[in-house]
Structure 1
Amino acid sequence: MSGNMEKRIGFAKNERGMALVLVMVVMVVVSMLGLGMMGMAVNNVKMGTGERDYQSAYYIAEAGSAYGMNEISSVMNKAYAKEQTLAGFFANIDAALNLGNEKTVDGFEESFGKKPTAKVKIEKISSDTIISYTNDYKITSVGTIDNRSRTVVRIVHVSWKPKSVVTIPSNTVLFARDSIDIANTPITGTVATNSTEASNQVKITGSKFEREQMKYDAKTATVTPEFPAFQIPSTAGSFSGNLLTMGKDMAFKTLMVNSSSTLTINVGDYNRNLIVEQLTLASNAKIKIIGKGKLSIYAKNITLASGSEINIDKDTNKLYVFLEGPGTTINAGIIYGSMYAKELNSQLMVNTTSGIQGHIITGGTSPIKLDGNPMPTARMIFAPNAEITLDATFSGSIIAKSIISKGANKVGTFEFVQINYENSPLFMDTGTGANPVQDIIVSDPVREIN
């Protein structure tokens, strides 16, 4: 009996010992797990803090890039308001930007006790454009917080837009440097001239027109703006296909659209320049423009055959044409865009089925005639050396050497409408201080570099 009791007591002691060992093992395991979890938590906190700082550094760099963009925009606005020429415009900008020098931007709020900073540098870089009136600038911004840094760059394209300082009376629908002869056409807006009333150079009869609408002796200078110079590169070839994808500015010696064919030009997301010595559209040939950007065509000569169209989607804000040559063969077709023709040497005919459907700017002396159905959109015609004949309803503003109308197709009217010079190849400085920002500054997306 006593032997059995001793065995039971021994087993009980062994079980207690085993239980103690198990408890200790469990405690060790739990402790290790706890320490591991604590380590993981600490690491997660460190990783979370590091990731937060890493992301913050990018946003700081991006904010620095925006600071640089605002600086360029501010300098550009002041330069454009002050300067009258391309050379003066860019010289003013370059002098004001402090190019190549790094500037520290530290106006950020503290983040978790850490003070962010951005170092911003603006540099002038070579441009891939083949038009001489665009300069490119690179903004480099380094954002830093708690020893973590990230760097972003942004390319900014600044372009000179031809401008003319013409201070004409407000709400002017018709301005003639010399003479005005209008009959039987209602006029809404101001009519003005540099001639005096005593000169008898103004004759307005049979029209719904009040004397208060007439302004004599305006003393307005009508200077033709600087025409953008361009050259055809010696390496330029020829093109006659059906699709032209413009990943950059392009130049051709000849560009031909064959009879009854359509050329689609894809400008992508950015404004593009197309330089061509001879642009030819055969009979019923078309050009279609796609993409978000605008297309500017710089041509030495343009030949449009019967039924030809440029920009068939008819959004005149999407196309500018700069014509250096005489323009003797453009009346047969139709251009849904605005044109700056340097020296027209033959009459330009404009109606709803032919001619230029947007704004018209020319320093030439050849006459311009608008006739036929009412013009559907408001436009500016700036032809200070030309005689303009109006035989169609017109809205917008005209500046000419002389203006003649004998009834505007018997049912016409002339009405002042304020022109949006953002969508014109010429900016008219009327003394308001406004600038065509949409066209003269364009930014590429911000991108990160290592």
Structure 2
Amino acid sequence: MKKDKHINIFKKEDGAGLVLALMVLMVLAVLGVAVAGVTIGSHKLGDISRDSNSAYYIAEAGANLAYEEMKNGVMPAYETSSNDETIYFNNIAGMIADFNPTVYAEKSFETQFGDQPKATITISDPKEKDDGKLYTITSIGEVDGKSRKVEKEFLVKFVPTTSGGGGGEWDLPSVPEGAALIVNGQLIMNSQGLIEGDVYSAWKSSSSITMWGDSKIDGDIYSAHSHLKEGIFTNPSNVGEHKYGKLNFLDSGDLWSEFASLPATMIQKPLDWKSYPGLPNITLNSKSESIKLSNNVYIKTISMSGESSLEIDTSNKDINIVVDDLSIWGTGKLSFIGDGKINLYINNSYGNSTTSSINANGDASKLNFYFFGSGLQLNNKTLLNGNLFVEKGSLALNTNATVTGLVVSGGTSFVAYNKAVLKSPMIIIPNGEIHLTSVAPIEGVIVAKSITLDGSSSSSPVAGTPGASGSSGSGSAPTFADLISAGPALEP
């Protein structure tokens, strides 16, 4: 009886196993869905993380590529700066302006999972830091819709080159100690021409030196012509040994080639001068005016006449002033105040007349006068108290005209006569002829393709002449590490 009762109870639970099995299957299904969701989510997160990391690495690589381009451009910018800090940083600014913005894509990065990565680069305006200029590279890397940004700072500095002769600001070729003249063609000395120092003739052809009248070389002659006395004089029978010191053979080597390329290297306009802010034309007739500059400027015309005076305050900064046409007539005076250096670039013409002056009471080493017209003439009693650079054409100094600094010309002729004054440590015209007639004694080194001394003209070197090989140590030029340095690329 009891047994039958138990059997009846179990008969009432015939579907329990099925329910239990379904419950187990349901639990497994829920677990499976959960695991699948986690797996899919993890995979998606992995893709996102992968793309985000890839975008970061692309941004970092872009910043480093941009820095390498800047680094590669620094030395050319330096080499074309004429050892001038203002020109150097203007060259850097021009290089960065041409670079901004730059996109590195298929030429720099391979596709990733069917998408083309790219890095978009911009470089900020500079900030002053540690006597240099600090720039920031911003690089945005993009991959498959994801982007990351990094920044990389780099510092650009100017380090002046010192030449073998202690040329100071200018990177000039070394000059043999005691040299007064270096010539690569004819040297003609008429009447009372006098050279107090050594003459270096790099011309290998015969008949390179002519001496007439009471002319004299109070020093030795170094000639690249192999036959020396028999070959170097056009009139050997009229040249007694009392007219010069010793004759020496000159192995010219690179002595001349270094000077030949100098004007093209030194005489250049700033690359970005056309972007300078313009000032109104300045016209003064027996009037005085003062202007204060804090940045580089362009002025189409400056015209002064009568007793006019124009004073320019540099705000103790190095300033570039580009002028198309400058004229100073009468007793006009153009002057500068402040400790900054002035680079004055004349595109077309400079008209001047008796007793007009530029920088009369200033520091000659602070003014660099660049002339790019077809010919330059300084008329009677005009004064240019600064360094003079003439790109091409002819250069002439009339009666009592004065230049007090370095003279470099890429032109074909330089004529000075009748007590013209050249207080120039060096006069360099490697592609032209210098003709001096009764000028005031020159205390410096003359370098020219050919030289003629007439009247009582004389030339002699002075201690400390730029480039003189005995005036200082061996000199030095900056390295990449001196000019540019950078930090790591980091997320801001």
TM-score range, shorter chain: 0.5 to 0.7
Determine whether 1:399 maps to 2:395: no
Given the superposition, is the C-alpha separation of residues 232 and 304 from structure 1 closer, same or farther in structure 2, using an over 3 Å criterion? farther
Q: Is the 8 A contact 1:294 1:319 kept in 2?
A: yes
Q: Matches of residues 30-49 of structure 1 in structure 2 within 5 Å?
A: none
Given the superposition, is the C-alpha separation of residues 228 and 215 from structure 1 closer, same or farther in structure 2, using an over 3 Å criterion? same
Determine whether 1:178 maps to 2:185: yes
Determine whether 1:348 maps to 2:380: no
Counterpart in 2 of 1:242? 289
Counterpart in 2 of 1:320? 368
| Equivalent position to 1:275, from 322, 334, 347 | 322
In terms of Rg, which structure is larger? Answer: 2
Distance 1:386 1:435 in 2: 29
Q: Is the 8 A contact 1:127 1:136 kept in 2?
A: no
Q: Is the 8 A contact 2:444 2:461 kept in 1?
A: yes
Determine whether 1:408 maps to 2:456: yes
Q: Is the 8 A contact 2:403 2:424 kept in 1?
A: no
Counterpart in 1 of 2:351? 303
Identity of aligned residues (%): 20
Distance 1:298 1:156 in 2: 25
Equivalent residue letter for 1:158: F
Local SS of the residue matching 1:287? strand
Q: Is the 8 A contact 1:302 1:327 kept in 2?
A: no
Determine whether 1:228 maps to 2:268: yes
Equivalent residue letter for 2:177: S
Deviation of 1:166 (Å): 4.1
Given the superposition, is the C-alpha separation of residues 204 and 365 from structure 1 closer, same or farther in structure 2, using an over 3 Å criterion? same
Cα RMSD after superposing both structures? 4.4
Distance 1:256 1:374 in 2: 25
Q: Matches of residues 100-249 of structure 1 in structure 2 within 5 Å?
A: 126=125, 137-138=133-134, 158=158, 166=173, 168-183=175-190, 184-196=192-204, 199-204=206-211, 206-209=214-217, 212-216=220-224, 218-219=252-253, 220-221=256-257, 222-223=260-261, 224-226=263-265, 227-230=267-270, 231-233=273-275, 236=278, 237-240=280-283, 242-249=289-296
Distance 1:211 1:357 in 2: 25
Q: Is the 8 A contact 1:380 1:396 kept in 2?
A: yes
Equivalent residue letter for 2:184: R
Q: Is the 8 A contact 1:270 1:293 kept in 2?
A: yes
Distance 1:252 1:192 in 2: 43
Deviation of 1:279 (Å): 1.5
Q: TM-score, normalised by structure 2?
A: 0.51
Counterpart in 2 of 1:290? 337
Per-residue deviation, residues 197-217 of structure 1 (Å, max 9, x unmatched): x60111245455367443435
Counterpart in 2 of 1:9? none
Per-residue deviation, residues 305-333 of structure 1 (Å, max 9, x unmatched): 33211112053222110111123454353
Given the superposition, is the C-alpha separation of residues 324 and 246 from structure 1 closer, same or farther in structure 2, using an over 3 Å criterion? same
Distance 1:248 1:369 in 2: 36
Number of residues paired by the alignment? Answer: 301
User: Higher mean Cα deviation, 231-240 or 396-405?
Assistant: 231-240
Per-residue deviation, residues 3-28 of structure 1 (Å, max 9, x unmatched): xxxxxxxxxxxxxxxxxxxxxxxxxx
Given the superposition, is the C-alpha separation of residues 326 and 234 from structure 1 closer, same or farther in structure 2, using an over 3 Å criterion? same
Q: Is the 8 A contact 2:200 2:222 kept in 1?
A: yes
Given the superposition, is the C-alpha separation of residues 170 and 302 from structure 1 closer, same or farther in structure 2, using an over 3 Å criterion? same
Given the superposition, is the C-alpha separation of residues 271 and 170 from structure 1 closer, same or farther in structure 2, using an over 3 Å criterion? same
Determine whether 1:383 maps to 2:429: yes
Q: Which blocks of at least 5 consecutive residues in structure 1 are unaligned?
A: 1-74, 95-122, 129-134, 141-152, 422-429, 442-450
Distance 1:139 1:395 in 2: 45
Given the superposition, is the C-alpha separation of residues 269 and 357 from structure 1 closer, same or farther in structure 2, using an over 3 Å criterion? same
Per-residue deviation, residues 132-164 of structure 1 (Å, max 9, x unmatched): xxx962289xxxxxxxxxxxx999763899977
Local SS of the residue matching 1:317? helix
Counterpart in 1 of 2:413? 366
Determine whether 1:433 maps to 2:472: no
Deviation of 1:254 (Å): 1.4
Deviation of 1:302 (Å): 1.7
Deviation of 1:172 (Å): 1.8
Determine whether 1:339 maps to 2:388: yes
Q: Is the 8 A contact 2:343 2:369 kept in 1?
A: yes
Given the superposition, is the C-alpha separation of residues 264 and 85 from structure 1 closer, same or farther in structure 2, using an over 3 Å criterion? closer
Given the superposition, is the C-alpha separation of residues 126 and 93 from structure 1 closer, same or farther in structure 2, using an over 3 Å criterion? closer
Per-residue deviation, residues 160-195 of structure 1 (Å, max 9, x unmatched): 999776455333211111111124444332211221
Given the superposition, is the C-alpha separation of residues 271 and 350 from structure 1 closer, same or farther in structure 2, using an over 3 Å criterion? farther
Per-residue deviation, residues 239-294 of structure 1 (Å, max 9, x unmatched): 34710111222221112234211111111322211111112212211112111122
Local SS of the residue matching 1:199? coil
Counterpart in 2 of 1:263? 310
Deviation of 1:434 (Å): 4.1
Distance 1:260 1:403 in 2: 38
Q: Is the 8 A contact 1:299 1:325 kept in 2?
A: yes
Q: Which blocks of at least 5 consecutive residues in structure 2 are unaligned?
A: 1-70, 94-121, 137-152, 162-168, 226-251, 484-492
